Amino acid sequence: MSLLDIDERILELVDLVDLDVSPFDDKKAFDRQVDVGFVEGGCSNEYNVKELREFRKHCRILISVGACAINGGVPAMRNTIGLRECLEAVYLNGPSLEGAGMIPNDEDLPLLLDRVYPSHEIVKIDYFLPGCPPSGDAMWEGLKALLTGKAPTLPYLLCKYE
């Protein structure tokens, strides 16, 4: 969503690129190879892993965007606690629970991973755009570099881990 922070520059961008799978056009699955993929968020369940592998398979260049994709971010706070302990604290021993709770186990729910993984621990990532979130200017720098066939590098004021 940081992509929208590039504001009116998005008009320049749409003249140069075609969006394929994205939240903007709501296309859910790849049906062809694309040049560049941006992934945000880490992998906390098996669905995320499947999705990320699909991206890797269909994107010539894959970029990890934002702190969650790079180190797991806030969801990764559970990594130092352990999955079972987290689920029990919320669904069995939570202070707002009435009666006996239960840990959700519906087959439609994606199975949670033992911990939250950054994207580059699941697939090969070509470039990183850090930030929480990366600023519109950082996104634009990255896009400009890619459109001109260069590796994205951020100047000091745009490279932020926070």
Partner 1 sequence: MVAASFKFNIDGIEVEATEGQSVIEACDEAGIYIPRLCHHPELPPSGNCRVCTCKINGRHSAACVTPAAHGMVIENDTPQLTSDRRAVIEMLFVEGNHPCPYCVASGDCELQALGYRLGMVAPTQPYQWPERKIDATHPDIYLDHDRCILCSRCIRASRMEDGKTVFGFEGRGIAMRLNVDAQGGLGETQMAAIDKAASVCPVACIVIKRHNYQVPNGSRRFDKTPIGSDIEAKRTRRQS
**Contact residues: partner 1, CB under 8 A:** 64, 67, 70-74, 76-77, 79-81, 115, 118, 120-121, 127-130, 132, 154, 156-157, 159-162
Instruction: Answer positive or negative: Cα dihedral of 109, 110, 116, 118.
Output: negative
Residue number, 45 or 135, with CB nearest to partner 1: 135
**Contacting residues for 15 by C-beta, under 8 A, at least 6 apart:** none
Minimum CB distance to partner 1, residue 156 (Å):
6
Minimum CB distance to partner 1, residue 15 (Å):
28
* Cβ–Cβ under 8 Å, residues 85 and 92: no
Minimum CB distance to partner 1, residue 99 (Å):
31
Residue number, 21 or 128, with CB nearest to partner 1: 128
Residue number, 3 or 115, with CB nearest to partner 1: 115
Minimum CB distance to partner 1, residue 116 (Å):
9
**For residues 88 and 104, what is the distance between their CA atoms, to the nearest angstrom?**
11
Q: Is 69 exposed, middle or buried (0-12, 13-18, 19+ CB in 10 A)?
A: buried
Adjacent-strand bridge partners of 37: 62
Residue number, 6 or 158, with CB nearest to partner 1: 158
Minimum CB distance to partner 1, residue 34 (Å):
22
Residue 82 φ/ψ region, left for φ over 0, alpha for ψ in the -120 to 50 degree band, beta for the rest = left
Residue number, 80 or 96, with CB nearest to partner 1: 80
Cβ-based neighbour number of residue 50 at 10 Å:
12
Secondary structure class of 130 (helix, strand, coil): coil
